[in-house]
Structure 1
Amino acid sequence: MWKIAIIDDDFNALKGMRNVIPWDELDAQCVGERMDGRKGLELIRSTKPDIVLTDIYMPVMNGLDMIEQLRQDHYPGQIIILSGYSDFDYARRALRLNVNDYLSKPVTIDDIRLVLEKAIQQLEEEELQKLEHGELQSKLMQYEPFAAKEWVKSLVLGSLQKEEIGEQSIPESKRFWRDKSHLVLGIELMPTERLLKATNTDRNLFRFAITNIIEELLQQDWPLSDCVQMHSTYLIVVLHTDPGSDVHTVMEKTRKLSGHIQQCIGHFLRLDVCIGIGSLKTAIEHIFESTEEAYQEVCLQRSGNDAGRGNSFDPEWGKLTVRSANFFWRLADALRMQQEEKAFACIREHMAQLKQLAEPLSPAQLRILAREVWAIITYALYDSEVTVEPFEQRPDHMDAFNTITETGQLEQWLLQELTVIFAQTHRRLKDNFKHKQAVEFMIHYIHENYADDITLDELSAKVFISRYYLNQLFKKATGLTFTNYLIKVRMEKAKKLLAEGNHLIYEVAEMVGYKNVPYFSSLFKKLNGLNPSDILKC
């Protein structure tokens, strides 16, 4: 909520301002009023308002002297002068002090509304720029569950430094990993027609429905495990087991779990997934190797290579992977966040590693790798509703592709293609990717806590970002407000629970966060076109 302070020596002006400012509409509140500049300065220093409305001519300290003190304090907010004095010297000094607006009294209600809307828009843009430049990550990392998931992501990719895997650096909830052996499942969502036709909101629901199914199966079949979303179409599951466990038994159990996951996702969601299985590792420092192996198997399955079925590892494909999972996900993140230079750096770094191989990749292997990179580019952009033309539908694209015979040519081809993509989609990418991390955090939080009485204020307090900013970002990215998205998630979960037939309607209502059963039933019918009892009868 925006904070506004009003400084004016005219009591009637103060009262009038309180009455005419559309506080609720602007999502603003008055943090105080004062009738001279000195007391106004004290108020501003103590309450730190976003906007100051001030007169110029006041006793004790005039408005311009007060503003000059604020500028010396590096006050970052918006300052608006409302004064009956239109003398040029006053206006010139106000400009020198970087006053944001200067209105001469009397002012109309529309004048006040417009100048405040303009000030709020400017503040919003400044805040969003701050979030873009790295403040968001540090704020989110103060929320322990988010920090733990980011640690897991970095660990499975092998991106952590030695000191970050030390006892004191491991999140408390993950310290038991030191005493276990581990293997990784890589799970990729296939771009079937059902998925491709889904809206952005429905894709988010699919993504978390898949996560819910996997976590329910893990709780049942392998409780000591962690599931983490790498990007919109790829999840990683880290399975933990006791040191010294029989490898054959562990792998057999893992294959059964993989089959169960595929079966349930296909049955409940009518979606297809590929699942790759890495080998068992006895130390957390080597988990990334299991990640790479799982990723290789997923690639083989996606390509239709029969050698990819089961838990085999093709040495020819091994030549294509200089930390390939790490490379692909770093590239995907750079694309999703519209970080052009980072994307180019990922390509150059990976190509440099490939050039160091003792045995150079063959032209056929290079073209296989090119197709893999193109698939990642397509998935990363599609996640934000940006469609890249299919690989084979551009003759000029294919002509250049077919001439690739060495790593340097592959590097040049990829950089050229990325340059074209960034140039063609820059505006849309900017709109779709802006603050994606904040939105994804909110979506994760909703899906993990939908049964609780969660509010946007609560979430705002956890990540130290304004409720107003969060709601604006969320609606822009998903098309729904935080509240409406929460309702939709709850109703989808309720529909699944009702269809299982194991619970009464009032029990389902409580399980998805509603104590008022009639209200729950009303919302359910509004969103699904059916009463909860109709689902139970099916």
Structure 2
Amino acid sequence: MYKVLIVDDERTVREGLKHLIEWEQYGFQVVGLAKDADEAYEKFYDLSPSLVISDIRMYGMNGLDLIKRLREKDKNFQCIILSGYADFDYAKRAIQNNVAGYLLKPIYEEELIEYLEKVKKELSKQEAVLQFAESEESRKKEQLILSLFERKASVSKQEMITYQLNWERYQVLLMKIENSIEYKINFRHLKNELKYLIDEHSALFISEPYIGLLLNASTYRMKEINKLFHDLKTTLEPYTEMVTVSLGESVSNLEDVYQSYRDAFQLIQRKFFFPKGQLLIDSLETECKGNSTPIDVSEIIDQLYFALDIGIQDSMKETVSDLFEWAIEDRSERTMKKNIVYVLSTVFNKLQKAKEDKEEYFISMLEKVLEIYQQPSYEELTKMVKQLLEDVLNELEYTDSDHQLKKLLLLIENKYNENLKLEQLAKLFNYNSAYLGKLFKSYTGEYFNTYLDKVRIKNAKKLLLKGQKVYRVAEIVGYNNVDYFHSKFKKYEGVSPSVYKRNMLQEP
């Protein structure tokens, strides 16, 4: 993996670029973010990135001056310039200064990926020049294994014998060391520490930040693999919190070993969904499947908003369950976090507008929502989301009355302009919708929809007498279709909104 440092004085650009794509899928790892050139200069020497992506215009030193200064110490790293439209010509001239290219804001995934592929080719050429002090046979063996993982090589029977790889079955045990750059881990040194684990039934390889073992699956059964996992954890004890270990499926042909590597690699990508600190195997993945039937996210948002607005904890918990089932979508950590951030941000924004006295509180909560991106596991994410919503419930003040129907009437009076549906409110109050309808009719003497219409018409009349136009009144009280509003108004008032407005305003 090639290390990337992102430099921009706008936090939204830095964070947005970091989460724009699955960097590892293209052979890169974002190891640092910097808000200006000075911070970038310091992080460059701590992190040693292979690629720097920097904005042109920043406070203090600009992006090109930063690149020029860094090149005085290291001429091998690649760089991409970010620019606004006004800096377009300036950015193009930057290419003459050995800049790999420029991205015009706003940044699109396709353009970024295209540049990453270009940069990766150049970095690969540079790596080819570097030679490590290893035995030729060991180096070739490792290179052969890595080539097989990328399906760039075939292997002869003689090579299998020469490199002691003529086994009946093959399996990959893969380790990833997180934050390896921050802790300045020397992978070649670490490889030497792990060599005691190698025998004629295993082969060690490195592809930073990964270290792995190709195993003779006929010899290494689960009992032996579990012991190997324990030995690895002992050797890597200083980095225990940073190490993730996975096991791919076994294959019967050496040239198919890429399948086992791919399995192990994908398990690490999904480590978010596994119990912490265990060997990642398919069977251990947390059960968090999406709902088999489509879930309307707008309903989740409304349900969660109403539950928090009124203070119904049971409904909130049930809606959180629906939220996670919807958010899982393509079983991607990045997508799941993005979906949950979207829902919570929308709900907190609505609550901020509805409860003006709590504006500062919800601004701080919107900041906390961004911390979702830093949660390392599914378990910790669910815990954080539940805690955020519990905090909101504890912060808001609710009426002393616990009568459900009174709460429902209060909700209608305050939220009549929202998209209120009996089925949705029944779920909110934990009732069967038909039963709630009967209770509502018995309590108010009106059917739910009739009661809601009358509340809307009552408020519409007030707005009309204030001089509001009919189509605006329809929108404000919750009718998206002005003709439908006309028919409802005439049904309950006997005249159209326009006639009502004219008659009332003409009265002495």
Q: TM-score, normalised by structure 2?
A: 0.33
Higher-Rg structure is 2
1 or 2 for the larger relative contact order (CA 8 Å, sep ≥6)?
Answer: 1
